[in-house]
Structure 1
Amino acid sequence: MNQTLETILTRRSTRKFLCKPIPEEEMELIVQAALHAPSAKGLQTWQFTVVRNREKIQKLATAIREVLDRKGYNMYEPEALVIPSNLKESPYGREDDACAMENMFLAAHSLGIGSVWINQLQDVCDVPAIRQVLDELGIPADHVVYGMAALGYPDDVKADKARTGKVVYVD
């Protein structure tokens, strides 16, 4: 099996991270993978905000916890958070960001870095408590966040599990 397929087939979500910084050059590779994702019509209406300050990450997690009434929510305390945002008016922003997120997850896994999709913001970006934190992080007011990539070295072991879902081949 080639390395690309092995990376795709072995990636798992990480929900427990070590307190170990991700080297700058590896973060840059992960972000470059995002920038090289497909974008509908090549518009690239996205922005990628990389947050490496754990206090700022937890400030956002606290705002989410309070707005969504999610007791104990902490985004799994990642070492870094990449926040793809996209123009609210972009008809393909959600899909573009999803492609970028998958590229980041695969790039991270290929480097031994764990990841998990954080999806709580898509409907609450303009709630004042959330918007205030997003503004502080430099997320444009005319952008929406559909998902975020929480990244760090994994502190949990994921066993292989069978994948389910129906596959239909038509000749």
Structure 2
Amino acid sequence: MKLETLMSIKERRSVRSYRKEQISKEELDAVLEAGTYAASGMGRQPAKMVVIQEPELIAKLSKMNGAVMGADSDPFYGAPTVVIVFADTNAGTWLQDGSLVMGNLMLAAYAVGLGSCWINRAKEMFESAEGKALMKEWGIADTYAGVACCILGYADGPLPEAKPRKNDYIVRV
């Protein structure tokens, strides 16, 4: 039994405050490799990950994401690394497959001592003209859609406490 894995699942939390210090290449590579091992429908692996560490581009993406939700705040919480997960919509399971990549990224981040958080609105960001232009610049085909952004960095403070699990989470039949 792999108890370490179960503990990581139970202990990982979304981090919404980051130190400015950039994460190491080794930590990033470990997290990205975990993403490549996510399960996918029929093993098709329709996801792609785009890694952004340039502060100016992160600021641009943050503004794009904030605009989708009508906010001026930084939806990336000052994280120094953003991994955008895309998936090819030609795969019937594109959203599920991309979501599994996101789960692996966040669990691996915790395992190597990084904070992470799932940031929504990637689909809307990359449906915009600005988003489509970035995808083209990055070599991402227009059949791909944004699944989510995974922000990464060193937590600036302790991890939040887990919320209590709801009583009716599991229904046994």
Fold match by TM threshold 0.5:
yes
Instruction: Check the 8 A contact 1:119/1:148 in 2, yes or no.
Output: yes
What is the letter of the counterpart of residue 85 of structure 1?
F
- The residue aligned with 2:21 is 20
What is the letter of the counterpart of residue 162 of structure 1?
P
Q: 1:138 to 1:152 in 2, by over 3 A?
A: farther
Q: Alignment partner for residue 171 of structure 2, among 149, 156, 168?
A: 168
Deviation digits for residues 103-161 of structure 1 (CA, Å, limit 9, x no counterpart) = 11111001110000011122342211232334344433221011111011111321233
What is the letter of the counterpart of residue 30 of structure 1?
V
CA distance in 1, matches of 2:149, 2:162: 24
User: Which segments of 5 or more consecutive residues in structure 1 lack a partner in the other structure?
Assistant: none
Instruction: Check the 8 A contact 1:108/1:114 in 2, yes or no.
Output: yes
- The residue aligned with 1:9 is 10
CA distance in 2, matches of 1:155, 1:82: 19
Q: 80-89 or 32-41, which moves further after superposition? A: 80-89
- The residue aligned with 1:29 is 30
Instruction: Check the 8 A contact 1:49/1:138 in 2, yes or no.
Output: no
Instruction: Check the 8 A contact 2:46/2:87 in 1, yes or no.
Output: yes
Partner of 1:169: helix, strand, or coil? coil
Q: 108-117 or 149-158, which moves further after superposition? A: 149-158
Partner of 2:116: helix, strand, or coil? strand
Instruction: Check the 8 A contact 1:34/1:100 in 2, yes or no.
Output: yes
The normalised TM-score by structure 1 is 0.90
The normalised TM-score by structure 2 is 0.89
Q: Deviating runs (4+, > 4 A) in structure 1?
A: none
The root-mean-square deviation of aligned C-alpha atoms, in Å, is 1.8
User: Which segments of 5 or more consecutive residues in structure 2 lack a partner in the other structure?
Assistant: none
Instruction: Check the 8 A contact 1:114/1:151 in 2, yes or no.
Output: yes
Q: How does 1:17-166 map to 2 (within 5 A)?
A: 17-157=18-158, 158-164=160-166, 165-166=168-169
Partner of 1:77: helix, strand, or coil? coil
Count how many residue pairs are aligned between Structure 1 and Structure 2: 170
